Each structure stands twice: as structure tokens, then as C-alpha cells.
Amino acid sequence: MLYLGADHNGFHLKEYLKKYLDERGIIYVDLGNKKFQKTDDYPDWAKLVAKKVQKNKKDLGILMCGSGQGMCITANRYKNVRAAFGWSAAAARRVRHDDDANILCLPAWGLTNEQGKHIVSAWLNTAFAGLTRYKRRIKKIDR
């Protein structure tokens, strides 16, 4: 399953990406915020997505806030979550391919909707390479 979460800064990007995911037939669950709320806090949405992703190795998440970094910091506090900052399609491909990132964090302040779409597409269409050295590195994180 793919889980989405965004605070007020990432809300409009999330809504745009939902339309893109719908067009592609990608099933997702929007964990919130489900309405624009200027006073919401990014950790609330990051925690919801991270808790879902940590339960199932096949699940993925996409988090959006202003800088993308607050979501990333929060999500990475959860065991078995490897949240990565996605500032470009190339970076998104590398974090999936090399690091098996299971949550993508997007900086809504620095991206157009189209850039966000290309980054998400690159991330979703890239598989973890599973090379021995990559697995070894991930094991070191989980210790």
C-alpha cells in the first residue's frame, strides 16, 4: 500500500499528486491532512505514515511539507523506516535503488506540481537493487 501525508505547506502538492496517482491507477491511502488547515503540524502526519510503513515491508509512503526535512526527520525515528529527501527525479531513483527508501519526503516550497509528479514517478518506478553492499549498509542502520 502507498500512504500519503502532508501538512498545510504540502497540502496542495498532495492533492495534485493524488490526481496523478488516480490517473495511473495507483492505489493509495491519504492519511491527512484531508483539509487545508494552516495550524496543523507536520509531525502528526509523518507519524501516521511512518507507523503504517513500519508494519509492512512492502508498504511505501510519501510525505510533503514545506522543506521536506521536518517530515523526513520525524519519519526516520521509526524502526524499519528509511525516509529520504526527494529534491529531484535522479535523487529519488538513487534512494530507492541504493537505500531501499520506503518513504519519500518532498519539499513543497521548492517544487512545482510537475516536478513533484516526475520525482514521484521516478521513485515509484525504481526497484531496490538488492546488492550485497546495499543490504549490508541497511543492516548497519537498523542496528
Q: Are 47 and 74 in contact (CB under 8 A)?
A: yes
- What span, in angstroms and rounded, lies between the C-alpha atoms of 33 and 12? 11
112: left (phi over 0), alpha (psi -120 to 50) or beta: beta
- Residue 96, SS3? helix
Q: Which residues are catalytic?
A: 65
Residues 6+ away with beta carbon under 8 Å from 3:
28, 29, 31, 48, 49, 52, 53, 59, 60, 61, 62
- What span, in angstroms and rounded, lies between the C-alpha atoms of 63 and 37? 16
Q: How far is CA 104 from CA 6, 45, 121, in A?
A: 12, 13, 11
